[in-house]
Chains A and B, each alone.
Chain A
Amino acid sequence: MEIIRTNGLIKDYLLGKVKVRALAGIDIGVDKGEFVAIMGPSGSGKSTLMHIIGCLDSPSMGEYYLDGDLVSKLPKRALSGIRNRKIGFVFQSFNLLPHLNILKNVELPLMYSGLGAAARKSQAMKILDSVGLSDRLKHRPNELSGGQRQRVAIARAIVNSPSILLADEPTGNLDSQAGGDILEIFSDLHKAGNTVIMVTHDSQVADRADRIIKIQDGMIADGNLSD
């Protein structure tokens, strides 16, 4: 069953007065429970595709179905709810809020989904325990190593049990040891039935995925599902 389906996704940007086409008709499908890597050189449009799949941005043209819903037609204000419930982001630079302790960082998506403080806390603690950080709850992000920070970010991404996990170069800022640990967590999450989409330019990282989609000049060069 497809959890992601795009038909003819086009995204244009205005750079000054010049119109730039970042995506030039992308048709992809991702099955539920799949681990997909998206690869491509910088400027290929993979980040733009990632933003649209993550509902941070809307396509200029084309359709995007997430979990059966046509989200490309939704107004921008409706996208915040989709991001909150269906999507978990993991960024290259972790993007934790520096002034909050890691427990509060992980609670953040639950707060915006309206969960009460007590339920939030217990759920966040459970998830942090699963990534091995239950002894660091009151620490601020800058008191943790890069690998630990990324584990907090993963915990925050999965705390709301999203439909898809989106990772943008999640090992880009880590040494190989910590990077390997993080990839191990993604593998475990995938084995547990989660859909993982990972943007990377590292082929060793991409090799862990079920399938690699290559993007070049805003179009799919290789690796789409043959349907």
Chain B
Amino acid sequence: MAISLTESLQIGISDILMRKVRSLVTVLGIVLGVMCIMVVLAIISGMNESTMEWMTQRGGLNKIEIQQNWNYDFRQGGTATLSLSELNILRGQIPEAKAINPSVSLYSAALQYRGFTYSGEVIGALPDMQIVEDWRPTRGRFFGEIDLRENSNVIVLGSSVARDLFKGQDPIGRKIQVNDHIMEVIGIMDTKFWENPGGGAWGGNHLEYMNRQAFIPLSTMMNKLSAGSEISSIQITAASPEEALSLQQKVNMLLLRIKNGRAVFRVDSAQQMMMQMEQNSQIFSMIFIMIGMISLTVGGIVIMNIMLASIKERTREIGVRLAVGARRVDIFVQFLVQTILITVLGGIFGIILGFSILDLVSGYLEMKLLAEPKMIVISLLISAGVGLVFGIVPAVKASKLDPVVALRED
């Protein structure tokens, strides 16, 4: 002898419809709380996606980078460079790496073609760079092993270099002068592009610096253009993001051993940076979720109060229901379901409101906001949870009423 949930839902809905304005006011706190949580969730997933896109553009989560450790005090000795023999020791120890690209940079090289000079960065690299950066020429070719063996005077240009230096002419096969050396252009790299999706102050192509680079074989760099220089930066690709973390530690250890315990290099992995960023965004989002939770708690307390007042008002109704055979649990469920209905209704309003202001917030914060279906589920669960928590006290109170006393109430 129990009344079904559908029955309770029907009673709840008709009660809410009977007191439309009151129900609407009751639920305002929940609406704002859910809206706040919606926006925060959208910011978080937007940030995560932006970071992920950036990482993918920069060679993915398998990438490990070795560069000078700026925190190391070089007065204690040591240099943040590797000789070829040191590089070969390192290379021999990490056969699990998918690709290794050591490089030597010449930061302000002069690239000249028919009297026009382009000042930019020229990098000596290995063919593995294409794997490490996930970046390939769109025209011509990249240099190969034979170019390395023969210290060939070949150069691959970034798309901006090619555009600015050749002004519309086809650069492939033409000779340019790099510092004092004549080089043949054999390829043009694909244009790298990544823009902060929010635009605004952080707009523009964040990878344009790569389009301004030019690449020559590492051996040509170390033997001709920058004779006597050593390797200052190495990029490694691991087989997977998980392996990148262990490989990162291994490389760090090997470098310390090679450099006699001096921490002249720092080894970063994209996976670790990604985890770091996610952790940072978690702190940020925790703060906002806390604010949302406080708003929901306040909203819940308001609802609890109004429900308690409404039970006082409906004491006689409860008495009548008890007199015709309602059990205490029926009364309890009736009021609990009604509270949950109200908060879920508020949740739905909050979700609609949250979605409708996402564009506004996105424009204001100049950030990408990403709305996901799971956010709707989370918001609904949260608002139902608020109703459940704050509906219990009024429902218990209603179900404990003495029928004789309740029927006497005016």
Contacts and interface: CB of A to CB of B under 8 A. Distances in A.
A84 B325 contact: yes
A108 B321 contact: yes
A56 B18 contact: no
A112 B404 contact: no
Interface in A97-129: 97, 99-100, 108-109, 111-114
B317 A80 contact: no
Interface in B49-73: none
Interface string B299-325: 000000000000000001101111111
A108 B324 contact: yes
Nearest to B330: A112
Contacts of A91: 407
Contacts of A46: none
Nearest to B319: A95
Given A81-B327, A112-B330, A160-B325, 19 more contacts: A56-B322, A56-B403, A57-B403, A80-B325, A80-B327, A85-B325, A95-B320, A95-B407, A97-B320, A97-B321, A99-B14, A108-B320, A108-B321, A112-B1, A112-B321, A112-B325, A112-B327, A113-B325, A114-B3
Interface string B1-26: 11100010000001100100000000
18 contacts: A56-B403, A57-B404, A80-B325, A80-B326, A80-B327, A81-B1, A81-B327, A84-B1, A84-B324, A85-B325, A89-B324, A95-B319, A95-B407, A97-B320, A97-B321, A108-B321, A112-B326, A114-B1
B299 to A, nearest CB: 25
Interface string A37-76: 0000000000000010010110000000000000000000
B323 A111 contact: no
Contacts of A160: 325
Interface in B317-365: 317, 319-328, 330
B403 A156 contact: no
A216 to B, nearest CB: 21
B323 A99 contact: no
A112 B321 CA distance: 9
Contacts of B404: 51, 56-57
A121 B18 CA distance: 22
A56 B1 contact: no
A83 interface: yes
Contact of B3 (A85, A95, A96, A111): A111
B2 A114 contact: yes
Nearest to B6: A117
A109 B324 CA distance: 5
B113 to A, nearest CB: 87
Max chain A C-beta neighbours (<10 A), residue from B323, B326, B328: B323
Contacts of A17: none
A77 interface: yes
Contacts of B321: 97, 108, 112
A113 B1 contact: yes
A56 B320 contact: no
Nearest to A153: B320
A123 to B, nearest CB: 14
A107 to B, nearest CB: 10
B13 to A, nearest CB: 12
Contacts of B403: 56-57
B317 A83 contact: no
Max chain B C-beta neighbours (<10 A), residue from A85, A108, A112, A160: A112
A12 B43 CA distance: 65
B121 to A, nearest CB: 78
